[in-house]
Every structure is written in C-alpha cells, then in structure tokens.
Structure 1
C-alpha cells in the first residue's frame, strides 16, 4: 500500500533557496525509499520572490534546480503581494512558477488540507 505525505516548504529569504531545493530532493528520495507518494509545494514570499524572476542575480542555478524539481512533480508558488511590494512584474516569473494572491493565505489553506509545514 502506497502512503501519501503532503509537505509544504516555505521560503521567505533569498539565501534559503539552496536549502529548500536540497530539502525537496531529500524528501523525494525518502519517499522512494519508503514507498511513499510525496507531494511537495514550495511557497515563496518576502524577499525570496526576487530569485524567481528572469534577471535575478542567482537565476541560473536556482532556475535549473527548481525546474528539475518541478519536472518531478514539485509545485512552486509565489506570493503576488510580495511581488507587488518589491515591484516585480509577474510576467518575469519562471514559466513553471505559479503566482498566488497571498503566500501566507496559501500556506494556511494547505495547513488546513493537512500539509506538513516546514520552514528551514
């Protein structure tokens, strides 16, 4: 019997992206080892959203890492409130990043749906 684990990874600081990507990869590996279906969502708000737009300083490495995770079924969401506050055009987001009206509200909804909340 395949067990399901729903996990939400929250990132609100640019310098935490490497850790978030590593956590997601490790969670997927653990799911394979334990015969779990691991559903992962990454929600970015605050200054972390700066790294999700074309032209960001660390765009190359992060874009590749997140694209690989997305190809494995990891969803990446971005807070529209944070984009507005930081004057970032949502049209510049990587194609696989989905904007949500409020990152914090999205987190609350997922918590209500039974997602485990992890913020490194």
Structure 2
C-alpha cells in the first residue's frame, strides 16, 4: 500500500476539449479537500504539447496550475519534433528528456496515471 498520493495527468492528444478536461481534472484534484495529495503532475507530449506553450489555447490555465504548485512537464522529443524552443513554454514548465521515460519513472514512483 502506498503512503503517498501522487497522480500524473497525460496530455497527448490535440483535441482542445480533451486538453481542457485534463487540466480541469488536475485542478479539481488539487482543490479536493477529501484527499491529501502529495504531488500532482501534468505531462504534455506529442499533439498534447500546445497547452504548455505561451501561445497555446489553454496556456493561462497551465500558468495557473504552475502557480498552484502543480508540476507541469514537457517532452523534449516533442519540442524538437515541433521545433518549439524552451523559451516558448509557459514559465515554470519543466522539460524532460522523453515523455515515455518520464511516465515510466513517475509510475514506478507510485503515481496514478490518468489520461482523459
């Protein structure tokens, strides 16, 4: 049995409604007083990278989540694939070497995986 409550939300699709749902769920979990969350992360990769860019449709939501202490991560492979510079990311977004590697690490560290 795990002692820590940790969850990662996976942004991988380009559908704006699905991206909005994932961000809403992360926000709802952070605000849920019935569970003591230790860590919440959002990992963006592939077509799901848009919200973590400064000109992304949901960039304001991502900025708010960062301000609330939620860890937002962007896949470096995806950034390279779409020719996105680190300077184009919302302030506070962390880059990771690969999305799949980070998901593997997080799940091995006890994170629950949620993909809306």
Given the two structures, how large is their TM-score scaled by the length of structure 1?
0.84
Cα distance change on mapping 1:55 and 1:66 into 2, 3 Å: closer
Residue matched to 2:20: 18
Partner secondary structure for residue 33 of structure 1:
coil
User: Following superposition of structure 1 onto structure 2, how do residues 1-120 of structure 1 map, counting pairs within 5 Å?
Assistant: 4-14=4-14, 15=16, 16-30=18-32, 32-34=33-35, 36-56=36-56, 58=57, 62-120=58-116
Given the two structures, how large is their TM-score scaled by the length of structure 2?
0.86
The two structures, once aligned, show a CA RMSD in angstroms of 1.6
8 Å contact kept, 2:51–2:62:
no
The structure having more radius of gyration, on CA atoms, is 1
After superposing on structure 2, the runs of 4+ consecutive aligned residues of structure 1 that deviate more than 3 Å are none
8 Å contact kept, 1:27–1:38:
no
* Unaligned stretches of 5+ residues in structure 1: none
Instruction: Give the paired residue count.
Output: 112
8 Å contact kept, 1:78–1:97:
yes
Q: Greater helix share, 1 or 2?
A: 1
